[in-house]
Chains A and B, each alone.
Chain A
Amino acid sequence: MSLRLLLALILVGLTGCAAPTLVGPGVVRVDGLQLQTPIAWSQRGRAGERQWTVDGPLLNALEIYTRVKPGELLFDLPSAKQREGIRYREGMSELELQELVADGLLAAGVVDIKLLGLRPARLGEAAAVEFELTFANAAGLRYQALALASQANDELTLLLYYAPAEYYYERDRSTVTSILRSARQAPN
């Protein structure tokens, strides 16, 4: 769900299609991933595509994509289906992962994406990359985003947090950063 569900919610008004559940605070398992969250979130979505939010996805959202396989669309948007490229491929470099997320966001309809920073990171034992972006929505509201992407066993894990740059992003940034730092593959 996430971007795809959000699109459906906004454009078609399917407000009742996905009943949210409450997750956290504490240690939470999400589709094979273990996260520690200091606050509670409202969760929607399906296995492999979860969206957490506190105030509603227009104001803050942490999207959790797990077990994305080579050839799969990162954001399963109708507008992306007929494109050749916005798909995960095994062995992508850190820069290519950032490009994939940025172009996926463009396909979702955001504009004016700017990369603020990109650095090596960890997702548990696995190498990862962390990067920050800004973009604007159609109404001109500027958003800031923080992403953590990691590949293991030819599968991609992506955590993507975004919120309006004014107030909301900074308000929850340290909370989200602590969640990203806690992320690891859940023990069996």
Chain B
Amino acid sequence: MTVASVALLIGCASTAPGPAAPGHTPQDDASDEAGLWYQMARFESQLAHSPARVQDAQLEGYLRELSCKVADDYCGDLRVYLLRAPYFNASMAPNGVMLVWTGLLLRVEDEAQLAFVLGHELAHFRHRDTLLRWRRIKSTESALAGLSVVGGAFGASIVGVAGALTGYASLFAYNRDQERAADVFGLSQMWQAGYDPTAPARLWQSLLAEDAVRDKDLLSGVFATHPATAERVQNLQQMAAGIDCGSDCQSSERRQRERYQSQIEGWRAQWLADELGRRHYRQSEVLLTRLLQMPEYGLLAEYYLAELYRLRQQPGDLQRALAAYDRAAASPQQLPPEWSRQRGQLRRKLGDEAGAAADLSAYLKAVPDAPDRALIEQWLLELVP
């Protein structure tokens, strides 16, 4: 896009577009909507080959199937991508690209909650909220800001995914009325697809505590643009109270939960490690404490809580970490293979030489081709001369 064409777009009136019908595409190639679609098509072609995309055909297929179930007539308009990013977020581009972040899947507990999020995002597509936001950016901010939103996405640099996503995410900062309307639409769509309408309020209720301690950078994702507020929870509860769920949706709740959890089973450890990699300990501690209560996470959450304490090292944290490692060790087959190295490292730090040596030896036995073997062997020599 040239500077001249951006200048033309800035001159466009910021009028609210009408809803998009299924199969909608911009009719006028010279329109600002066509320009935005063009930018988004470029974004999508980069996204399709991005290393940040989770290449799991089964999981993406599941997301596609679920989004179609919720989208109904709009199914053919959607293309779902799963992005490896440890933040609670999903977004819907005006051309039908739906982006689901792994941090969202980590936090969602069942299929009904996910169906609501997908329905909520579909609402932004149907209501063409992104186009309105695009026009606002151009009329109230600057041409450069507009360009950086999508034009800078996925540039050729060593750094970039975070920066690109930050710009991309700013396109999806909707106002309160748009959010409320999307909640209503999302809840309605998921209910009609056979899901329990109380699930959306449960989702946001569970996120309230995290929102209170979240980092305030743009990559807080949906938290930044879709605040988890008590008012929102209340609104969703009121909406659900006015709907007759029927016997079907509640009786299938357990099956829907199992189906969702089985889809993400092989990814939980990686997503938890990614969550800790953010090094935002307060938020991660709140999340892990919640996941600890879920049978699907159980000792895996305990292990990553131990990792959090080991990394944070506030007063008392090393003892907390050791206790959590010990609890997690009750079922080592659920843990990543390096768990014994991590506990051994901590025991070494705490002066438990025999315990450290036992753990580190167990690690080398479990991972014969460990990339850090040379270091661990040196530690063992120091511990057991």
Of A24-32, A41-49, A133-141, the stretch lying at the interface with chain B is A133-141
Assess A82 versus B216: contact at CB under 8 Å? Given A112-B51, A129-B375.
yes
Interface residues of A in 83-140 (CB under 8 A from B): 83-86, 89, 93-96, 98-99, 102-103, 106-112, 115-120, 129, 131, 136-140
Evaluate contact between B163 and A109: CB separation under 8 angstroms.
Answer: yes
Contact indicator per residue, chain A 58-78, by CB within 8 Å of chain B (1) or not (0):
100100000000000000000
- Cα of A82 to Cα of B218 in the assembled complex, Å: 11
Residues of B contacting A139 in the complex (Cβ-Cβ under 8 angstroms): 46, 50, 154-157, 160
Evaluate contact between B312 and A138: CB separation under 8 angstroms.
Answer: no
Residues of A contacting B232 in the complex (Cβ-Cβ under 8 angstroms): none
- Cα of A75 to Cα of B250 in the assembled complex, Å: 50
Interface residue from B51, B163, B215, B345 paired with A95 (Cβ < 8 Å): B345
Contact indicator per residue, chain B 74-111, by CB within 8 Å of chain A (1) or not (0):
00000000001000000000000000000000000000
Evaluate contact between B280 and A120: CB separation under 8 angstroms.
Answer: no
Interface residues of A in 15-39 (CB under 8 A from B): none
- Cα of A140 to Cα of B48 in the assembled complex, Å: 10
Residues of A contacting B378 in the complex (Cβ-Cβ under 8 angstroms): 120
- Cα of A143 to Cα of B157 in the assembled complex, Å: 11
Residues of A contacting B145 in the complex (Cβ-Cβ under 8 angstroms): none
Check: B365 CB closer than 8 A to any chain A CB.
no
Evaluate contact between A107 and B375: CB separation under 8 angstroms.
Answer: no
Contact indicator per residue, chain B 331-371, by CB within 8 Å of chain A (1) or not (0):
00000000001000100110000000000000000000001
Evaluate contact between A109 and B311: CB separation under 8 angstroms.
Answer: no
Assess A116 versus B371: contact at CB under 8 Å? Given A10-B157, A10-B159.
yes
Residues of A contacting B148 in the complex (Cβ-Cβ under 8 angstroms): 11
- Cα of A131 to Cα of B374 in the assembled complex, Å: 11
Residues of A contacting B279 in the complex (Cβ-Cβ under 8 angstroms): 83-86, 103, 107
Closest Cβ of chain B: how far from A26's Cβ, in Å?
A: 28
Evaluate contact between B312 and A84: CB separation under 8 angstroms.
Answer: yes
- Cα of A94 to Cα of B163 in the assembled complex, Å: 30
Closest to B157 in A: A10
Check: B158 CB closer than 8 A to any chain A CB.
yes
Check: B61 CB closer than 8 A to any chain A CB.
no
- Cα of A107 to Cα of B84 in the assembled complex, Å: 13
- Cα of A79 to Cα of B159 in the assembled complex, Å: 12
Residues of B contacting A129 in the complex (Cβ-Cβ under 8 angstroms): 375
Closest to A98 in B: B372
Check: A6 CB closer than 8 A to any chain B CB.
yes
Evaluate contact between B215 and A138: CB separation under 8 angstroms.
Answer: no
Interface residue from B152, B160, B280 paired with A83 (Cβ < 8 Å): B280
Interface residue from B52, B156, B166, B345 paired with A93 (Cβ < 8 Å): B345
Evaluate contact between B313 and A89: CB separation under 8 angstroms.
Answer: yes
Evaluate contact between B160 and A84: CB separation under 8 angstroms.
Answer: no
The total of chain B residues at the interface (CB under 8 A) is 42
Check: B277 CB closer than 8 A to any chain A CB.
yes
Check: A165 CB closer than 8 A to any chain B CB.
no
Assess A140 versus B157: contact at CB under 8 Å? Given A79-B217, A129-B375.
no
Assess A103 versus B157: contact at CB under 8 Å? Given A79-B162, A84-B312, A129-B375.
no
Assess A143 versus B52: contact at CB under 8 Å? Given A83-B215, A95-B372.
no
Contact-residue size bin, chain A (C-beta under 8 Å from the other chain): 35 or more
- Cα of A129 to Cα of B375 in the assembled complex, Å: 8
Interface residues of B in 139-184 (CB under 8 A from A): 148, 152, 154-164, 166
Residues of A contacting B259 in the complex (Cβ-Cβ under 8 angstroms): none
Residues of B contacting A57 in the complex (Cβ-Cβ under 8 angstroms): 158
Closest Cβ of chain A: how far from B277's Cβ, in Å?
A: 5
Residues of B contacting A115 in the complex (Cβ-Cβ under 8 angstroms): 371-372
Evaluate contact between A137 and B156: CB separation under 8 angstroms.
Answer: yes
Check: A162 CB closer than 8 A to any chain B CB.
yes
Check: B278 CB closer than 8 A to any chain A CB.
yes
Check: A179 CB closer than 8 A to any chain B CB.
no
Evaluate contact between B155 and A10: CB separation under 8 angstroms.
Answer: yes
Check: B281 CB closer than 8 A to any chain A CB.
yes
Assess A119 versus B313: contact at CB under 8 Å? Given A79-B219, A111-B161.
no
Check: A54 CB closer than 8 A to any chain B CB.
no
Residues of B contacting A95 in the complex (Cβ-Cβ under 8 angstroms): 341, 345, 372, 375
Closest to B310 in A: A96
Evaluate contact between A138 and B374: CB separation under 8 angstroms.
Answer: no
- Cα of A11 to Cα of B165 in the assembled complex, Å: 12
- Cα of A98 to Cα of B338 in the assembled complex, Å: 15
Assess A85 versus B281: contact at CB under 8 Å? Given A95-B372, A118-B375.
yes
Residues of B contacting A140 in the complex (Cβ-Cβ under 8 angstroms): 49-51
Closest Cβ of chain A: how far from B117's Cβ, in Å?
A: 23
Chain A interface residues toward B at CB < 8 A? 3, 6-7, 10-11, 57-58, 61, 79, 82-86, 89, 93-96, 98-99, 102-103, 106-112, 115-120, 129, 131, 136-143, 162
Given contacts A10-B160, A115-B372, 14 further A-B pairs with CB under 8 A are A3-B159, A6-B158, A7-B159, A11-B155, A83-B215, A106-B277, A108-B158, A108-B162, A111-B84, A118-B371, A120-B375, A137-B157, A138-B50, A139-B156
12 pairs, CB–CB < 8 Å, chain A vs chain B? A58-B158, A61-B158, A79-B219, A95-B345, A95-B375, A96-B311, A109-B159, A109-B164, A111-B161, A137-B51, A137-B160, A143-B158
